[in-house]
Amino acid sequence: MKILAIESSCDETSASVIEKDSNSLKILSLVTATSLSMHALTGGIIPENAARMQVKYIIPVIIEALLSSVALNEKKSSETTKLDPSSSTQDNIENWKNSRNIIQNDIDAIAVTHGPGLVGSLLVGVETAKTLSYVFDKPIIPVDHLLAHIYANFISKNADSNLLNSSELNANSFPFIGLIVSGGHTDLLYFKSHNNYIWLGGTRDDAAGEAFDKIGRLLGLSYPAGPEIERRAKLVDKTNIRFKSPIIGEGNFDFSFSGLKTEAQRFIQSQDNLSQQAIDEICYATQKAIFDVLVKKTLKATEKYNCKTILLGGGVSANQTLIEYFIQQTINHELQIAIFSPEKIYCTDNAAMIGAYALLNPKAKKWNQIHANPDLYFA
């Protein structure tokens, strides 16, 4: 089965062609247009701006994804294309015709993120997918963006990838604990099988990625601050700065990060001026406070639900230090638990993960049975 997947829930506009071949999920193309440099100017995403850019990007991105899916041999399957719309293929009539033929003859279904997300952004992807589904008479598979972050782990890894081998991840990996850590969400789930899961807990206020971004902003770092905080924290050997891990002692699976931002803000305001070394140390303390609580509660969930596997997903799971914290804690506590995290390009928002979820949970609908649902929450 081969799927054209579309993702536009936040600021990225992404399309991917992905195929299920025996037990592996192979990415034939992944094209993502980002408006990140525009959001860096405003220090965060302004929804209206994001949706306007997506209207501009969506068709070129889909055309590019379809065309490059058949030119796979020239590229490595996990290579992603960042689209520059000024050099886009959309005006070339041959490209229109070729992509129409690919969709007609090669594609079995269309998958699209229907929520959660920004309403304007979601509408761009959903309405485009519905139109393609109607015109080409293809079934449509609506996908929950958050579950897709976890399913990015099922995408076949490159042979030269040094991550844990995804071939170990299969039907026998159930049950597992899924931890979603992104800019908008922090959620812990217990998966019994595909499409059979229980939500255990989530953030009561800011998400983990949001905490990185807000504290980064206080430090004058550019948006999104997660990668820069990771880089700076790595430079620190030791520090006396400590921030509290919020609600780490509570016997539940909830998280809360807005208090951490306030604690960091008070500390920053109490300093006369911040040296680069001090900024690095604050980055270290921030990361440690966030990761200690994420790791502790996730491992507690594996114990309670007797799971041997943890799947991480979302932008923050691109952080190698987080994965190292997890591995170190399993060693310290002599736990036989396998930790999986997607390849970096599949951690942040992308259409390949939407296709991966759809291929493993192929619940197709007709074009007129789906709609954008910004508030979708583990339906």
Sites of contact with Zn ion (CB under 5 A): 182, 349
Cα–chain center distance at 4: 18
Q: Is 227 in the site for ligand KG4 (CB under 6 A)?
A: yes
| Count of beta carbons in the 10 Å neighbourhood of residue 94 | 9
Q: Is 286 in the site for ligand KG4 (CB under 6 A)?
A: no
User: Given strand 309-313, what is the order of strands in its sheet?
Assistant: 196-202, 186-193, 176-181, 309-313, 338-340
- Residue with Cβ nearer ligand KG4 (138 or 355): 355
Instruction: Specify the DSSP class assigned to residue 72.
Output: G
DSSP 126-160: HHHHHHHHHHHT--EEEEEHHHHHHHGGGBPPPTT
Q: Are 28 and 17 in contact (CB under 8 A)?
A: yes
- Residue with Cβ nearer ligand KG4 (35 or 89): 35
Token pair for residue 145?
A: 């963006």
Q: Is 19 in the site for ligand KG4 (CB under 6 A)?
A: no
Q: Is 230 in the site for ligand KG4 (CB under 6 A)?
A: yes
318 binds, among Zn ion, ligand KG4, none (CB under 5 to 8 A by kind): ligand KG4
125 binds, among Zn ion, ligand KG4, none (CB under 5 to 8 A by kind): none
Q: Are strands 2-7 and 13-21 parallel, antiparallel or unpaired?
A: antiparallel
Q: Is 348 in the site for ligand KG4 (CB under 6 A)?
A: yes
In order of 182, 204, 266, 268, 269, the CA distances from 272 in angstroms are 33, 33, 12, 9, 8
Q: Is 60 in the site for ligand KG4 (CB under 6 A)?
A: no
Handedness of CA 158, 160, 165, 167 (dihedral sign): positive
Among 224, 246, 342, 355, binds ligand KG4 (CB under 6 A): 224
Binding residues with ligand KG4: total (CB under 6 A): 19
- Minimum Å gap between C-beta 159 and Zn ion is 27
Among 120, 142, 178, 184, binds ligand KG4 (CB under 6 A): 184
Among 51, 318, 352, 356, binds ligand KG4 (CB under 6 A): 318
Among 102, 316, 354, 359, binds ligand KG4 (CB under 6 A): 316
The residue range among 23-31, 83-91, 96-104, 208-216 that interacts with ligand KG4, by the rule CB under 6 A, is 208-216
Q: Are 311 and 153 in contact (CB under 8 A)?
A: yes
Which residues are at the interface with ligand KG4 (CB under 6 A)?
Answer: 10, 182-184, 209, 212-213, 224-227, 230, 314-316, 318-319, 348-349
